[in-house]
Structure 1
Amino acid sequence: MDNIAGQKSTLTWVVHISVAALVVLWMFPTVGLFVSSFRTTDQISTGGWWKALFPAEQNLTIRAAAPDTQVNIDGMFVIEGTLFEEGFDASVSSWGISSRDINAFVPGEAAELRRGGTITVDAAGNYRMENTEEFSGSRGQRVFVTATTPPEFTLDNYNKILFSGSPSENMGTAFVSTLTVTIPATIIPILIAAFAAYALAWMEFPGRPLLIAFVVGLLVVPLQLALIPLLKLHLGIGIGKGYLGVWLAHTGFGLPLAIYLLRNYMVGLPRDIIENARVDGATDFQIFTKIILPLSFPALASFAIFQFLWTWNDLLVAKVFLIDATGQTTVMTNRIVEMLGTRGGNWEILATAGFVSMAVPLLVFFAMQKYLVRGLLAGSVK
């Protein structure tokens, strides 16, 4: 009965529900990181990102005005003010003057100060300190407040991450450095692999099957196995640690997959088109540039997505081949690792840095994802 026309089988619904669940699970941390990147430190400390749109209760420590602001009113020394900054909308639910009991009083109650006098705090955060004797000291009274605050979002995190500090410390410099690494490291292997894939697919020469087997074998070579020998080679030929070295490293590590993927796609192209072009007098280069490349665009785009995402998110290769003491060529992944050490408690800064690092790969993936499946399935079905 499941196969009646116009009805979907139970297995189809199971597949759809499973895919939807996987999409939700994949989007859950991404949305959380995005929301957290706009929250303040106090907002993040009060609860998870799913509470960002609702009022939150926070414990705040605020100092009242210093004694030098007191005035004498009818023989009473008075200090008045508000605990919150202008524009900060909050409602005080309880307060205290000792860290041992921060909820000792409710709004409107008066508390006895240790050095004499009283202090009263209302629900809006306005306070009044009174004493028959003059207040002394250089700092104001510390007040612990439990207040309900409305949702708060800010762009200060992005301003701090992208533009604040020296160029060698902010994410803006690392963003440019990552683009400098990623774009050439994506284009160079595509250019080389396209020529190699065409030769392995349509050109006859001795040893071609062995060469194809060798390329397939390189797919299983561990990246870590080649790092140190390759670094010694770079140092030996004089290119050292810099952009050129990291471009060549990414090119070498990405070529086997690129050649394998493009060759499988090109083999599946109609033979009649290529043979007709040769009969008309077209050279291999003309066939490659005017026929093969346009028809192979889905495979090229598919590999470009993989190579771009892998290069953008890479840390290991950048650590080995792109060391810069000044920080001018540090990539974003390495900058985030550094922030974990210097800003481990600033979750809003780390969330913003993480989302900035994710933004470009997400744009690239969604812009070119329609070519991904077409390129991956190329050559699998005749």
Structure 2
Amino acid sequence: MSATQAVVTDNRTKRQVERDTRRNEATAQKRLTSRGATIAAVIIAIFWTIPTFGLFVTSFRPGADSNSTGWWTVFVNPSFTLQNYGEALTSGGTALTLGASFINSLAIAIPATVVPIFIASLAAYGFAWMNFKGKNIVFVFVFALQIVPIQMALVPLLSLFSRGLTLFGTQIFPGLELRDVDHSFATVWIAHAIFAMPLAIFMLHNFIAEIPSEVVEAARV
């Protein structure tokens, strides 16, 4: 067989494989997107959603109606109120109500997310695009901090916040009074930032390192 015949045979084989692949893909897509499968998926989704929808409707119904009739009666005798949500947000078994606890969660979650991401993005950019001596060693050390169990750091962290850090008679970090409400959020922010920093730096480094150098050069220009 000559070289020309071999090339023609290879092209025919390649086209045949492509046709078979397209045919198999079309068959699989047709089976997965058939009308029966679509109807079955819709029916399953409806039955799956009904209990959640019933709880949602019940949350807006007066307590007397919810105790005496089912939620589906709302379509015949509609009666809605926001009293349930008001009682839920203003009640609580501790010194804080549910609404105050929700605000506290936002006050902790938002800064504890933004602060480590902001600091980690600066460090990740340095590791990805700046060349300095010992960069790889420092990056491996930062990545290795992820294997440190959080439980091992809780007691030293508590000691750092309560008594501070003093080296050779010089106070490096002042102690924060944990019982003081004015500083309670700050301690939580610092703790979350410390524990999240290694993973955040590692993930952002991998993302920033994939940015084409042309984009960085264009930004500098």
TM range (shorter): 0.5 to 0.7
Distance in 2 between the 1:189 and 1:210 partners? 21
Question: Which letter does structure 2 place at the counterpart of 1:224?
Answer: Q
Q: 1:183 to 1:218 in 2, by over 3 A?
A: same
Q: Is 1:37 the counterpart of 2:79 in the alignment? A: no
The 1-side partners of 2:57 and 2:186 are apart by 37
Work out the number of aligned pairs and report it. 180
Considering fraction of residues, name the structure with more helix: 2
Matches within 5 A, 1:73-222: 153-163=80-90, 168-222=95-149
Quote how far apart the aligned CAs of 1:154 are. Answer: 2.9
What SS does the corresponding residue of 1:53 show, helix, strand or coil?
helix
Aligned to 2:213: 271
Compare the two structures and name the one with the higher strand fraction: 1
Aligned partner of 2:169 in structure 1 is: none
- What is residue 7 of structure 1 aligned with on the other side? 26
Q: Distance in 1 between matches of 2:187 and 2:21?
A: 59
Are 2:180 and 1:243 aligned? Answer: no
- Cα RMSD between the aligned structures? 4.2
Output the CA distance in 2 between the equivalents of 1:225 and 1:46: 54
Distance 1:191 1:251 in 2: 10
* Structure 2 segments unaligned to the other structure (5+ residues): 1-19, 165-174, 179-183
Cα distance in 2 for residues equivalent to 1:253 and 1:36 = 41
* Aligned-partner residue type, residue 177 of structure 2: G
- Deviation per CA, 1:61-86, whole angstroms, max 9, x where unpaired? xxxxxxxxxxxxxxxxxxxxxxxxxx
Counterpart-to-counterpart distance in 2, 1:271 and 1:41:
63
The alpha-carbon deviation at position 7 of structure 1 amounts to 2.6
Relative to 1, partners in 2 of residues 1:46 and 1:248: Cα closer, same or farther, differing over 3 Å?
farther
Task: State the AA in 2 paired with 1:259.
Answer: I
Hey, what's the Cα distance between the residues in 1 that align with 2:50 and 2:136? 46
Give the conservation status (yes or no) of the 8 Å contact 1:53–1:151: no
Distance in 2, Cα, partners of 1:194 & 1:184: 15
Structure 1: gaps (5+ residues)? 56-148, 281-382
User: Taking structure 1 as reference, are residues 184 and 33 closer, same or farther at Cα in structure 2, changes over 3 Å only?
Assistant: farther
Contact 1:52 1:151 in 2 (8 A): no
Partner of residue 227, structure 1: 154
* Distance of aligned partners of 1:266 and 1:176 in 2 relative to their CA distance in 1, 3 Å threshold: same
Change (3 A) 1:204 1:2: closer
CA contact (8 A) 2:54 2:71 kept: no
Alpha-carbon offset, residue 263 of structure 1: 0.7
Give the structure with higher Rg (CA): 1
Identity %: 37
Cα-to-partner distance string for 1:331-381 (whole Å, 9 max, x where unaligned): xxxxxxxxxxxxxxxxxxxxxxxxxxxxxxxxxxxxxxxxxxxxxxxxxxx
Q: TM-score, normalised by structure 2?
A: 0.62
